[in-house]
């Protein structure tokens, strides 16, 4: 018997075995390459940051060249808490998420009208302003010297951060996994479907009773919170916050990472982060000064060949290996 | 007879151009009201004003007695004022089933549900499927909309509006671009619309207008030229002049 319409709708959100495999492998790499834990935690944080960008770009259709604003705000929030005796990591994450969300909510209203170019410039402008604010408020932020004297406590009061980054990776991976599950839940919900409608055709979305502005404000705020948590993770695991967290190159990098991994897919940000960081690590070893040349080359090739072709190739490969369909 | 939709002295200026010129229109509940006029007469501008895509420069709009002039587009839809578009406005990357489920869920105020999987509510999916079946779209309901043939997309355009349970339905050239041999599908669908739904039809095709409408308003240069029953309008020398004049250019 053919599946009912109800079943077909639910099937679209089904958890696939390839997803379990992905997450189990991400845990297993720590035991296979324990010396690379610090690099892995960098990847997890970059992956979360790119996931947050995917929420607005891949699902809301909002382009941003200033997403570092929220990463940076989250990093400073967590850093300042740790500096002033509130070193509990989870509390830091919570406060970072809240502060970034408030700034995201406030600035989201500037993005409701206008073209992609307007949005690129507005997001870029906001990130630039925050960068210079952090620079100017040196007594609080440490300015160009960075924030000094962070004391990050153990996670849940049990697991102290070690020199090799094992705790850092497990902590970052857990946070990434939980937030990924939340994002996955959201994009497969009716709210998520309405975002796809808004992105696909805002005029018609309004004509079937969707409050287009309301949906965009909501997803932008959520994305800002996610980016803030990524920034807080970075601050806590490296015990370091400098102006670099708000720098333009970070906004550009995260866009690059997401495009490398594929937009509108949730796994794209994480896979992009893996590819980008490993490539960066490997190429920087071979040609320390010119590694960005190769990243640029990969980016140009990827964009020209197109993800769909790569994705269909991978999916048919996965399908042949067993089971059906690829991830998400 | 009660009034479903009315405009009072509605004006819309685009710079120096007056696209809507003091239009006062009254549509009775349950009517099949056609709005006709040559190209550029301001019919689509009027629809955009009625649905909130544009804000009028002057005048107001009432829906079942309520002033909706300043309401947002989606707030009007929630009150039952729903439209279709002359050029298909569909969700190209979604399937017809997803599009319809979304419209039904939005109507039931569930559009903000971010926890449950879309389609969890079986009643909503069933309703979406029922509408798709009625529109002959059930066989293609899982395909991506962008791959549907034009005629099917045109039907989906109307189905999506029906899923919003309109009290007043504005149809902007529903048969535009549909080949002659597929037109009857659209015409049958229109004929089968529930009698308590008020329908405003904007159309160029006079055969369709005369077979469907019970009342006709004629627009020329942004203003209402005349209004009346079907026979009245068909005999009206002014209207004939406008239309003969137009066909003379073709």
Cβ atoms of residues A160 and A104 within 8 Å: no
Q: Which residues have C-beta within 8 Å of that of residue B82, sequence separation ≥ 6? A: A207, A208, B161, B164, B166, B168, B169, B170
> How high is the pLDDT of residue B59?
92
In a domain, B135, yes or no: no
**Which of B90, B118, B139 to substitute to test the interface with A, most A CBs within 10 Å?**
B118
In a domain, B13, yes or no: yes
Q: Per the CB < 8 Å rule, is B117 touching A189?
A: yes
Query: Structurally, how many domains does chain B consist of?
Result: 1
Q: How far is CA B192 from the centre of its chain?
A: 15
> How high is the pLDDT of residue A324?
45
Q: Closest chain A residue to B82 measured between Cα atoms?
A: A207
CATH at residue B27:
3.40.50.300
DSSP codes joined into one string, A90-143: HHHHHHHHHHHHHHHHHHHGGGSSS-HHHHHHHHHHHHHHHHHHHHH-HHHH-G
Ranges A98-102, B52-56, B159-163, B202-206: which has the least confidence: B202-206
Chain A positions in Cβ-Cβ contact with residue B170 (cut-off 8 Å)? none
In a domain, B105, yes or no: no
Chain B positions in Cβ-Cβ contact with residue A182 (cut-off 8 Å)? none
Distance in angstroms (rounded) separating the CA atoms of residues B12 and B10: 7
> How high is the pLDDT of residue B1?
67
pLDDT tens column, A89-147: 999 999 999 999 999 999 999 998 878 899 999 999 999 999 999 999 888 888 888 88
Q: Per the CB < 8 Å rule, is B111 touching A194?
A: yes
In a domain, B110, yes or no: no
How far B101 CA lies from chain A's nearest CA (Å)?
Answer: 9
Distance in angstroms (rounded) separating the CA atoms of residues B150 and B108: 29
In a domain, B116, yes or no: no
How far A328 CA lies from chain B's nearest CA (Å)?
Answer: 14
Size of interface A-B (CB pairs under 8 A): 125
Q: Closest chain A residue to B119 measured between Cα atoms?
A: A9
Interface of A with B in 210-229 (CB under 8 A): 210-212, 218
In a domain, B66, yes or no: yes
pLDDT tens column, B31-67: 999 999 888 888 889 999 999 999 999 999 999 999 9
The domain of B231 spans 3-93+167-249
- How far lies A115's CA from each of A121, A238, B78, in Å? 10, 38, 27
In a domain, B98, yes or no: no
In a domain, B33, yes or no: yes
């Amino acid at each position: 018997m053919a599946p009912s319409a109800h079943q077909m709708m639910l099937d679209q959100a089904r958890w696939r075995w390839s997803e379990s495999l992905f997450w189990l492998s991400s845990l297993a790499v720590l035991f296979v390459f324990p010396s690379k834990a610090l690099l892995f935690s960098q990847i997890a944080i970059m992956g979360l940051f790119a996931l947050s960008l995917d929420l607005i770009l891949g699902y809301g259709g909002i382009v941003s060249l200033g997403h570092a604003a929220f990463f940076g705000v989250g990093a400073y929030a967590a850093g300042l808490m740790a500096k002033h005796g509130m070193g509990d990591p989870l509390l830091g994450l919570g406060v970072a998420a809240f502060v970034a969300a408030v700034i995201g909510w406030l600035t989201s209203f500037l993005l409701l009208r206008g073209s992609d170019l307007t949005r690129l410039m507005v997001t870029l402008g906001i990130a630039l302003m925050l960068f210079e604010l952090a620079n100017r408020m040196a007594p609080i932020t440490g300015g160009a010297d960075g924030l000094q004297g962070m004391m990050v406590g153990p996670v849940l009061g049990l697991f102290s951060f070690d020199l090799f980054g094992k705790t850092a990776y497990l902590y970052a991976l857990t946070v990434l996994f939980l937030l990924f599950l939340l994002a996955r839940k959201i994009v497969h919900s009716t709210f998520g479907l309405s975002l796809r409608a808004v992105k696909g055709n805002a005029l018609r979305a309004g004509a079937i009773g969707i409050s287009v502005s309301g949906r965009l404000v909501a997803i932008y705020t959520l994305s800002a919170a996610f980016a803030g948590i990524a920034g807080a993770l970075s601050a806590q695991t490296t015990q370091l916050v400098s102006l670099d967290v708000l720098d333009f190159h970070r906004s550009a990098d995260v866009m690059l990472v997401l495009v490398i991994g594929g937009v509108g897919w949730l796994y794209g940000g994480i896979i992009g982060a893996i590819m980008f960081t490993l490539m960066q690590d490997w190429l920087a070893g071979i040609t320390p000064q010119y590694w960005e040349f190769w990243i640029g080359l990969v980016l140009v090739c990827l964009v020209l060949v197109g993800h769909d072709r790569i994705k269909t190739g991978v999916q048919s490969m996965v399908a042949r290996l067993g089971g059906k369909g690829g991830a998400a | 007879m009660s009034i479903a939709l009315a405009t009072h002295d509605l004006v819309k200026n685009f710079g120096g151009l007056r696209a809507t010129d003091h239009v006062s229109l009254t549509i009775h509940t349950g009517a099949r009201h056609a709005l006709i006029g040559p190209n550029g007469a301001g019919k689509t501008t009027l629809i955009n004003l009625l649905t909130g895509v544009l804000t009028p420069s002057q005048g107001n709009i009432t829906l079942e007695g309520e002033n909706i002039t300043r309401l947002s587009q989606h707030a009007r839809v929630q009150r039952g004022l729903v439209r279709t578009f002359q050029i298909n406005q569909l969700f190209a990357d979604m399937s017809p089933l997803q599009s319809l489920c979304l419209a039904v869920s939005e109507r039931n105020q569930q559009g903000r549900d971010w926890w449950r999987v879309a389609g969890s509510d079986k009643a909503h999916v069933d309703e979406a499927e029922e509408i798709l079946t009625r529109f002959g779209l059930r066989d293609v309901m899982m395909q991506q909309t962008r791959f549907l043939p034009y005629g099917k997309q045109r039907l989906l355009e109307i189905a999506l509006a029906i899923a919003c349970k309109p009290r007043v339905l504005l149809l902007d050239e529903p048969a535009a671009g549909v080949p002659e041999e597929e037109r009857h599908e659209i015409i049958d669908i229109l004929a089968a619309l529930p009698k308590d739904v008020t329908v405003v039809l904007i159309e160029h095709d006079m055969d369709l207008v005369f077979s469907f409408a019970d009342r006709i308003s004629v627009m020329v240069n942004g203003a209402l030229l005349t209004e009346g029953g079907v026979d009245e309008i068909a005999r009206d020398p002014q209207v004939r002049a406008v239309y003969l004049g137009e066909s003379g250019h073709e």
